[in-house]
Homo-oligomer: A and B are copies of this chain.
Amino acid sequence: MTTALASRHSMPFVRVELVILSAVGDRLSVLLGRREGPPYAGRWAVPGGVLRIDLDRDLDDAARRVCRERLRAEVPALRQVRTVGGPGRDPRAPWALSVVYRGLVAGVDAAPGKRIEALRWSPVDEIAGERLAFDHAQLVAESAARLREEVERLELPFDALPPAFTLTELQSHCETLLGRALDKSSFRRRVDDRELLEPVIGEMRTGAYRPAQLYRARKEKG
């Protein structure tokens, strides 16, 4: 054994998989695409794509490109979850490695892109019965768990919120992501103590009944 050059060993099939999450109705849901061709043709899977070393400057960049190509959408807040790999994960290659990213979006503004027949939102708590292609059920479960941990720690989902929002809207959104109710007083106190928000002075949401103060994320905070 001497020097290990890049060319001495076969390299794995490297992909990026996107677990795009959103609050749909009142459930945390994941964006699934129906696979147009084999393998697993007709089955639902998380969108993903091959790493392109001629195009991608790093992994975050690869995730953004795959997002544009598959979903025709820009998704901020793409975060790496983890990397899985092994033989038998993907019949197209003897050894497949996938870097998993999760995204969080507000609306359903994606359109089926390359090699995706249809898109659909599915509640993450029902993916066990979805029979997703590959090992995607596990990837979705892990990504959703990670997101929920972040929201529990009050890392607020600003990327999935409008530029200005009321505290009730913020709380309601967090409740949907977490899948559980939050206490209003406690929630407001915790948000306030951490100085995560600043009021948009003068601006109020004037819907039915009493108007509500609008807030936005403080830039210096997460």
Contact = CB atoms under 8 A, between A and B. Distances in A.
Interface of A: 1, 3-6, 8-14, 37, 49-54, 56-59, 62, 80, 82-87, 92-97, 99, 114-115
A46 to B, nearest CB: 15
Contacts of A97: 14, 51, 59, 97
Given A3-B115, A6-B96, A83-B99, 16 more contacts: A1-B114, A6-B13, A9-B50, A10-B53, A11-B11, A11-B53, A12-B51, A12-B53, A53-B87, A56-B86, A57-B86, A59-B83, A59-B84, A59-B97, A80-B82, A80-B83
A204 B62 CA distance: 56
A115 B1 CA distance: 9
Contacts of A53: 9-12, 87, 94-95
A5 B37 CA distance: 12
Number of copies: 2
A26 B49 CA distance: 46
A200 to B, nearest CB: 34
A131 B17 CA distance: 34
Nearest to A8: B50
Q: Could you say which of A11, A82, A94 has the most chain B C-beta atoms within 10 Å of its C-beta? A: A11
B87 A57 contact: yes
Contacts of A4: 49-50, 92, 115
A10 B58 contact: no
Contacts of A13: 6, 11
A54 B9 CA distance: 9
Given A11-B51, A50-B9, A3 B37 contact: yes
